[in-house]
Amino acid sequence: MKNIFSSILVVAALVFSLSSCVSQKEVVYFQNSDSIYIQGQDIKQLYDMRIKCADRLSVSITCSDIKLLKDFATNLTMGTNEGNVTSSSTNREVYTGYTVDNEGYVTLPVVGKLFVRGLTEEECAKKIEESIIAKGIVFDPQVTVKFTSASVSVLGAVSKPGRYALNTQRNSVLDILAAAGDITDHGLKKNIKLFREVDGKLIEYKIDLRQSDVFTSPAYYVQQNDLIYVEPNRTAQVKNSPFFTFWSAGASIVSLGISVTTLVLAITR
Per-residue pLDDT reduced to its tens digit, 2-13: 455 555 544 455
Domain shared by 79 and 140, yes or no: yes
User: Cβ-count burial of 55 within 10 angstroms (0-12 exposed, 13-18 middle, 19+ buried)?
Assistant: buried
Instruction: Dump pLDDT digits (tens) for 214-265.
Output: 888 889 999 999 999 999 987 644 444 454 455 555 556 656 666 656 665 6
Domain shared by 206 and 157, yes or no: yes
Number of domains in the chain: 3
Q: How far apart are CA 263 and CA 89, in angstroms?
A: 87
Range of the domain at 103: 56-147
Domain shared by 254 and 228, yes or no: no
Residue 191 resides in a domain: yes
pLDDT for 77 equals: 29
Domain shared by 70 and 111, yes or no: yes
Q: For residue 46, what pLDDT band results from cuts at 50, 70 and 90?
A: low
pLDDT for 12 equals: 52
Q: 105-108 and 187-198: which strand pairing?
A: unpaired
Domain shared by 154 and 40, yes or no: yes
Residue 237 resides in a domain: no
Give the mean model confidence (pLDDT) for residues 44-54: 82
Instruction: Dump pLDDT digits (tens) for 64-104.
Output: 877 777 766 543 322 333 444 444 434 445 556 789 999 99
pLDDT for 161 equals: 96
Q: Which residues contact 59 (CB under 8 A, 6 or more apart)?
A: 95, 96, 97, 98, 108, 128, 143, 144, 145
pLDDT for 241 equals: 46
Domain shared by 78 and 142, yes or no: yes
Most confident of 132-136, 202-206, 213-217, 249-253: 202-206
